[in-house]
Amino acid sequence: MPDQKQPYRFIISGGGTGGHIYPAVAIANQIRAVYPDAEILFVGAIGRMEMTRVPEAGYKIVGLWISGLQRRLTLDNLSFPWKVISSIRMSHKIIREFKPDAVVGVGGYASGPLLYAATSKKIPALIQEQNSYAGITNKLLAKRAQKICVAYKNMEAFFPAEKLVLTGNPVRQDIMEIQGKRKEALLHFGLTSEKKTILVIGGSLGARTINESIAAGLPSIVEAGYQLIWQTGRGYHEKAQELEKPYANQGIRAFDFIRQMDLAYAAADVVVSRAGALSISELCLAGKPSILVPSPNVAEDHQTKNAMALVQEHAALLVRDVEAQQELVPAALQLAGDEQEQQRLSQHILKLARPNAAVDIVNELFKLIK
């Protein structure tokens, strides 16, 4: 690794969802693990969740006035060119004042202007692409970046092959340390060790189809003798709280957001999840038998592509969003009752885990500033 007298300085940019933010924080944590005195600045988009999640993780963040293009004609679209110009100017100012040794883009609106400005000043840039179908911001930046760290094979369809490094997605350290936590986890959620537990997670913002399917299936889950940890997202939480009341003594627990995901995974026998890249990376590391319900409301249907990468390896089951109302709860109950299938899925999904992703990405980053 390179050696210099003053502390290294890095800007990490991007966000919009937990799928971008948590890998970014994991990269920052690994930089700090190697160089505790490194100075790290995050750049996000004003009004997006990174503006609160990043400071909670202990890092400073600056916001750009930027958003995505809507697929329909809106006032936001009319202001889009001004937002881009404003954000590029602001990015140049940030770079001039902070003087980074290198920049990292994790996808999301803010990473576009920041990496564009940085690379125009010949500052080394690394992109981290979480999905099996590359996001538009990262595709546009690919020619300007020196290195592109990916989580899936066959990404040459989107990026120059000579820049690619297969690292996997970095996840929170605690997800890798769930062994031996089951007793603590069940106690934390007020559950019993005598029942199987189903964990339902719809992503950091929740998932309407999954929530409605679980809501309709609550009597079946209770009747089958299973417990439920249900992350609903903020928008559905109030309704879920009403629905859980009759079953509070039977192990139904609804939360708008679960901060201690390590304990949620440790308690779970079966997981129902969206197929965001970060969720899949966490499931691989946790080794959990899973049913994936890809969101249809994402660019190029990339969650289905993420899910199929696992299904083809017999590492997860898939229920399509359009079929979830009828099929999701029956599929979850069947899997919860089939220990042989749980074991098969668990063994296969563990083979896809990449526990050293953050280490490998940071190693690539330091190679750029040698």
Alpha-carbon dihedral angle through residues 159, 163, 167, 170, given to the nearest 10 degrees: -70
Q: What is the pLDDT of residues 70-111, one digit of tens each?
A: 555 556 655 666 677 788 899 999 999 999 999 999 988 889
* Domains of the chain as residue ranges with CATH: 9-169+356-368 (3.40.50.2000), 174-351 (3.40.50.2000)
**Residue 217 annotated as lining a ligand binding site:** no
DSSP structure string for 85-135: HHHHHHHHHHHHHH--SEEEE-SSTTHHHHHHHHHHTT--EEEEE-SSS--
Query: pLDDT averaged over consecutive 10-residue blocks of the chain (370 residues)?
Result: 71 83 93 96 90 93 75 59 80 96 91 94 96 86 96 92 96 88 97 97 79 96 97 91 91 93 97 93 95 88 90 97 96 98 97 94 94
Whether 4 has a binding-site annotation, put simply, is no
Q: Find out whether 53 is annotated in a ligand binding site.
A: no
pTM for this one?
A: 0.84
pLDDT digit string (tens) for 23-78?
A: 999 999 999 999 999 999 999 988 888 899 999 999 999 988 876 555 555 566 55
Please tell me whether 297 is known to bind a ligand: no
44 is in an annotated binding site: no
Annotated ligand binding at 258? The verdict is yes
Six-digit token pair at 36? Answer: 């505790």
